Amino acid sequence: MTLDLFDTLEQPDQRQQQLTQNAFVLRAFATPYVVQLLPALAAIQQASPFRHMVTPGGFHMSVALTNCGALGWTSDRRGYRYSAIDPEHGRRWPAMPEIFLQLAQAAAAQAGFNGFTPDACLINRYQPGTKLSLHQDKDEQDYSAPIVSVSLGIPAIFLFGGHQRNDKALRVPLFHGDVVVWGGADRLRYHGVLALKEAEHPLLGRQRINLTFRKAA
Ligand code: MD3
Ligand code: FE
C-alpha cells in the first residue's frame, strides 16, 4: 500500500492524511519539538530505564518500554494494568514534561480533539527486528479520549486494522517526527508494528522511540 491511496480522500493539506473518519497522520508535526523532547526523554530514561516487560503468557515483549506521567502502563504474569508506581524501583513514574503535554495537546487539537488531557505517556523503544503484534488498547478507563502517538528515530510500518483481528490492515509508514491521532470509533481498532528494518537515524541511532499519550484514568 502506498501513500497515494490516501490522496483519494480530500486532504486539508498534504502533510495531514486522514486514514478513517477519526484517525489522522500529521506528517512531521513533532519536528519543531524534537530539540526539546530529546533531553526530556533522556531524563525520563535515567529515572525509569527502558525494560522488557513480561506478558501474562510469560513471554518477554520485544518492545522495551518506560512511562512518564501520573500513570504508567505495566505488564507482568498477573496481567496488564496502569499504575502510578514504576515496579522496577517502587517510586512514581517521572512527571510528564511540559513539552510532551504541549505537543500532545497541539496534535490532538489539530485533529479536531480539543481539551485532550493525557495522564499517561507510554514510551516504546524499538530496535531493528523489534515488532508489536496486532492488539487493541483496552486497559484505559475512558475510550472517549483520543490517543496521540509520536514517532522518533528510524522508520516503522504501522498496521492499522479493523475491529476484528482478521480484518485487513492498512500499512502506514511512519517516520521521525510523524504524529498519529485516533479517536472515536477508531480508538479500538486492532493495530501493531511490523518488525523494523535495519537502519540508523542521525539523532537516535539504531532505534525508534514512540511516545503514546493516553487518558488512562
Ligand atoms: C491505533 N504502540 O503502545 S502507536 C501501544 O508505534 C502501541 O509503538 C504502537 O500500539 C507504537 O499500544 C502504535 C499507538 C496506538 C495506540 C492506540 C491505537 C495506535 C492505535 C488505537 C487504535 C489504532
Ligand atoms: Fe497499542
3-class state of residue 58 by DSSP:
coil
- pLDDT for res 142: 82
Q: How remote is the CA of residue 187 from the centroid of ligand 2, in Å?
A: 10
The answer, as to whether pTM is greater than 0.85, is: yes
Q: Which atom of ligand 1 is nearest to the CA of 161?
A: 23
Q: Are the beta carbons of 21 and 186 closer than 8 angstroms?
A: yes
71, 138, 196, 212: which to mutate for ligand 1, most atoms within 8 A of CB?
A: 212
Q: 90-118: buried (b, 16+ CB within 10 Å) or exposed (e) per residue?
A: eebbbebbebbbebbbbbbebbebeebeb
DSSP codes joined into one string, 159-217: EE--SSTTSPPEEEEE-TT-EEEE-GGGGG--EEEPPPPS--BTTTBS-EEEEEEE---
Q: Which atom of ligand 1 is nearest to the CA of 135?
A: 10
Give the chain's domain count.
1
Q: Which atom of ligand 1 is nearest to the CA of 156?
A: 6
Each residue's pLDDT tens digit, 117-127: 999 999 999 99
- pLDDT for res 168: 96
Residues with CB under 5 A from ligand 2 (ion): 137
Residue 120 CB less than 6 A away from ligand 1: no
List, run by run, the mean pLDDT of 10-residue segments along the chain (217 residues): 46 78 96 98 98 96 98 96 97 98 98 96 98 93 92 98 96 98 93 98 98 96
CA distances from 125 to 52, 185, 205 (A): 10, 27, 12
Q: How remote is the CA of residue 134 from the centroid of ligand 2, in Å?
A: 8
Q: How remote is the CA of residue 11 from the centroid of ligand 2, in Å?
A: 26
Each residue's pLDDT tens digit, 25-37: 999 999 999 999 9
Q: How remote is the CA of residue 157 from the centroid of ligand 1, in Å?
A: 12
Domain that holds residue 198: 2-214
- Identity of the residue numbered 147: I
| CATH number of the domain residue 105 falls in | 2.60.120.590
Q: How remote is the CA of residue 114 from the centroid of ligand 1, in Å?
A: 20
Residue 103 CB less than 6 A away from ligand 1: no
The torsion angles phi and psi of 187, rounded to 5 degrees, stand at -60, -30
- pLDDT for res 55: 95
